Structure 1
């Protein structure tokens, strides 16, 4: 299983979970675990995903989510699990 971490941050509004889930579905990315929280007027979400069936390369996925971020007025970032863990290691 190829796992990655997706982070989503933006002004809270109806439909954010739907919009992000739709992007994942369209790219054959499976949600393994999800955590979301509302911080004042900001919506935050961290998703552990399985990208093993996704036809896009990791760099293509990063570019794709960057483009979709602009369209959806969100910050959507994806990192491979190993990179995420290395960055957050003490």
Structure 2
């Protein structure tokens, strides 16, 4: 499995979302390779390309952890393997 993953974050816009997500990643040794964010009316959306090679948790456990942490913060956070994400989003 690739050490790259794609994270999507969606939630009501508020101050600190990027900082909170970046902190969660840093705490688990996950690097941000690229980031894109956008506001759509009152909703904040973000897509991040991650390098998970040094992640402190197995991918499934990390994904479940982020899902749980996202819920606590009013965010929908999803992590997918980069190859799977690309396959699902081909036109």
- Name the TM-score class by shorter chain: over 0.9
| Unaligned segments of structure 1, at least 5 residues | none
Query: Partners of 2:21 and 2:67 in 1: how far apart?
Result: 12
In 1: Cα distance, 2:69 partner to 2:79 partner: 12
- The total of aligned residue pairs comes to 90
Between the aligned partners of 1:36 and 1:16, the Cα distance in structure 2 is 11
1:70 offset after TM fit, Å? 1.0
Which runs of 5 or more residues in structure 2 are unaligned?
Answer: none
Residue 45 of structure 1: how far off its partner (Å): 0.3
Alpha-carbon RMSD: 1.0
Q: TM-score, normalised on structure 2?
A: 0.95
Aligned pairs for 1:31-42 within 5 A? 31-42=32-43
Q: Which contiguous aligned blocks of 4+ residues in structure 1 show a shift greater than 2 angstroms?
A: none
**Map of 1:63 onto structure 2:** 64
So what's the TM-score if we normalise by structure 1? Answer: 0.96
